[in-house]
Amino acid sequence: MSEAISPATMVVWGGLLLGIIFGAVANKTNFCTMGAISDVVNMEHWGRMRMWLLAMTVALIGTSLLSYLDWVDLSKTIYQRPSLPWLSLLLGGTLFGIGMTLAGGCVNKNLVRVGGGNLRSLVVLIFVGISAYMTLKGLFGQWRSVYLDPVSIDLATLGLQNQALPTLVGKLTGLSAKTALLATASVVALGLLGFVFKDKRFRSNVSHIAGAVVLGLLVVAGWYLTGNIGYGENPETLETVYFATNTRTLESLSFVAPTAFSLELLLLWTDKSLKVTFGIATAVGVALGSWAYALASGNFRWKNEGFSSFDDLRGQLLGAILMGFGGVTAIGCTVGQGLTGVSTLALGSFLALAGIIGGAVVTMKWQQR
């Protein structure tokens, strides 16, 4: 009789599958947060922005249901910690927004481009990985931990167990935790859905609607995979743990820190303490999914584009470094905070998202001038 598949194995292979689907859908629908913001700023076109907001709404609804049914414990996530490092979140998000604009796309978009054969995006990803690793464990990390992270608000002193918006609503209104969760998620989701579907052109765009729904559901699936299937007793220590995640707690889709951990694994391959994790598997999966779709659609081309000028090279690499630093400092990127973090209704995720959008908008306006 064969042995049962371990939770860690299911989490890693499940993460790879989620990443493959994400990459294929993102390639097909041209899903790109920077592109969505650029469309609004430069052309006042909200199509891709509505797609992003719809994916965010689907992720929020699904994640809230998981929490309401007690299938996952979102209070254990890195997003809902009671300490709110507002300066790190806001500054990190802003720098990430600037960086993704200078680099012509966020980390997710560059993973999709690599899958389509774009070698320049591979260079960008390498520099993102180096910068992110330096922010996690290196020189940038020292700056972050000494100067930025200590500037925080301890919400526990205000009587809040975590930084989830429903917790704040419950504190102010006296509602029970689950009632506050349902009320808050419903209000936010209905507001977003009303804005998304008020546009007639978007309502007729089946591809964008279907793509957004799938991307949002992938975030939900990531939470369930790591927070339910991947949650159990470690047979070696007999402790209850979350298997195969870098944060040692439940995770969903995010791509900056996993890019750094992927680079670490490649550089230190013989270090047996390092393992393929959910984050690494999803990042690899995005590139593979994009590659598979590009092959199937006949759009795969090796693109040895190079950089058009020294200024282009400088801008792209500076953007990559800012994305690596900003993404780790803000605890996520356009997907890691914009979809995954927001799905937990964490106050810090809204701060980071505001920084990302603000940084991108200001940089686009500067580029125009």
The predicted-structure confidence for 31-65, as pLDDT tens digits, reads as follows 999 999 999 999 999 999 999 999 999 999 999 99
Q: What is the mean pLDDT of the chain?
A: 94
Q: Does 302 score more than 90 pLDDT?
A: no
Query: Percent of the chain beyond pLDDT 70?
Result: 98
CA distance readout (Å), 249 to 71, 155, 193, 232, 278: 14, 21, 30, 11, 11
Answer whether 324's CB lies under 8 Å from 332's CB.
no
Q: Does 201 score more than 50 pLDDT?
A: yes
In the numeric block, the tokens 């390092």 are attached to 274
The two beta strands, 240-242 and 231-233, are: antiparallel
Predicted pLDDT of residue 78: 97
Q: Does 343 score more than 60 pLDDT?
A: yes
Answer whether 107's CB lies under 8 Å from 18's CB.
no
Residue 2's pLDDT band (boundaries 50, 70, 90)? very low
- For the stretch 90-139, pLDDT in tens is 999 999 999 999 999 999 999 999 999 988 899 999 999 999 999 999 99
Q: Does 8 score more than 70 pLDDT?
A: yes
Predicted pLDDT of residue 159: 92
In the numeric block, the tokens 């680099």 are attached to 103
Q: Does 324 score more than 60 pLDDT?
A: yes
Rg (Cα) of the chain, in Å, rounded?
20
Q: Does 305 score more than 90 pLDDT?
A: no
